[in-house]
Structure 1
Amino acid sequence: MSDTPAAQPLVLASASPARLATLRAAGVEPEVIVSHVDEPAVEQAARAAYGELTPEDVALILARAKAEDVAPQADNAIVLGCDSVLEFDGEVHGKPGTAERATERWRRMRGQHGTLHSGHWLIDERDDGTGATFGVVASTVVHFADLTDDEIDAYVATGEPLYVAGGFTIDGLGGPYVERIEGDHHNVVGLSLPVLREMLAQIDIPWHRLLNR
């Protein structure tokens, strides 16, 4: 009979398949509880309360809202909320939402670079836990290839860039259009594993306690 302790339960407050795949590839099988946060409303309320927000602020505020929305449903677990935004040309960009916006954005981004900010918010909902609630933002510089109009049109036609932060992926169909990055690759996917490891250490949970094996 094994005396290896069971994995520490982790709740992922995100509908992102990429974040889930990132955790699974690292040996972690979280419970997914999708938040129902009205992101534009949360951002608007934060601007009304605090004034102008930096891109890092936006990512962290939305990550916190997702974690706090899901936390009451978590049973003796750690809750992780995440959100990503792209800072480009002095503006904050989330999901384009339409083919027109995705096309316009890529025509501006091609041959240029932006910074992908991912907010991580952790809530300790363990029965015997710390009760901690805190967040960290990780940032990665992304250099985009100089795409032709035909390449942009073909990529937008796949539908992928419409529903991902910044209008691109690094782990999917958009991979060939990202020339290089400066920083953590996982962060561009939307969840920095090194950052999560460090956050867990702050509440005395070593990374290997999350592993499902």
Structure 2
Amino acid sequence: MNIVLASASPSRRSILNSAGVEPVIHPADVDEDALIAGLPKVDPDKVVAALAEAKARKVAPDHPDDIVIGCDSMLLLDGELQGKPRSAAATVERWRRQRGRTAELITGHCVVGPGGARSVTVSRTAVVFADVSDADIEAYAATGEPWQCAGAFTLEALGGWFIDRIEGDPSNVIGLSLPVVRRAIYELGHDVNEFWKPVDAAGKD
């Protein structure tokens, strides 16, 4: 049995790698904008949960004997969900709005196990943005790093310079909450150690 990640996100893969798991990478082909447009006006948690579930359910039929994880993250600022900026100009505009302020990074998780049993959970983490200079905002936007990131930042790379603190689960901000996934794996009747990579004991006493 494997863990299958329904995402091409290197950040999510890195979280699992650091936690001893080498996931099968199977990105879900989901039109996120169309899915959001088709949803009734609902609360932010339900939006990210619906996106995560759509991704997991898209991939799960191809991996009936594995555990499939679908995730989606968005930033809640001024009562509005912010997705990926996708360009330098949009990144600059976003950062000029959010610098010096606090917002919530919301990540939806859908974990599907063998037989189709699934757990859908949403996790929130408060992010306190630094009062970043215009020069740093423009330089950061020009790198391209934040273009495909919810909230227009990364916590674990260059964007870490511009986050004063977080309140809550740090892995959730990166895009996949290990506590949420652990609880889901338990609900599906498994233990997380079943998915750890074998440790190479060569050369050890």
Equivalent of 2:101 in 112, 116, 136: 112
1:190 and 2:175 aligned:
yes
1:87 and 2:67 aligned:
no
**Uncovered stretches (5+) of structure 2, i.e. residues with no partner:** 199-205
Identity of aligned residues (%): 46
State the distance in 1 between where 2:50 and 2:58 align. Answer: 12
- Give the deviation of 1:18 after TM superposition: 0.3
Instruction: Output the aligned Cα RMSD.
Output: 1.0
SS of residue paired to 2:5: strand
- Hey, what does 1:158 align to over in structure 2? 143
Q: Deviations over 1:54-112 (max 9, x none)?
A: 22111111101110111121141011100000001111001011211111110011100
Equivalent of 1:66 in 35, 55, 58: 55
**Uncovered stretches (5+) of structure 1, i.e. residues with no partner:** 1-7
SS of residue paired to 2:39: helix
Structure 1 segment 13-92 matched on structure 2, within 5 A: 13-47=6-40, 52-92=41-81
- Hey, what does 1:11 align to over in structure 2? 4
SS of residue paired to 2:122: strand
SS of residue paired to 1:174: helix
State the distance in 2 between where 1:75 and 1:61 align. Answer: 21
SS of residue paired to 2:51: helix
Aligned residues: 198
Equivalent of 2:161 in 176, 181, 204: 176
| TM-score of the pair, normalised by structure 1 | 0.90
State the distance in 2 between where 1:123 and 1:26 align. Answer: 19
Query: Which residue type is aligned with residue 41 of structure 1?
Result: A
State the distance in 2 between where 1:23 and 1:133 align. Answer: 19
- Hey, what does 2:87 align to over in structure 1? 98
- Give the deviation of 1:184 after TM superposition: 0.4
State the distance in 2 between where 1:177 and 1:20 align. Answer: 23
Structure 1 ranges of 4+ moved more than 6 A: none
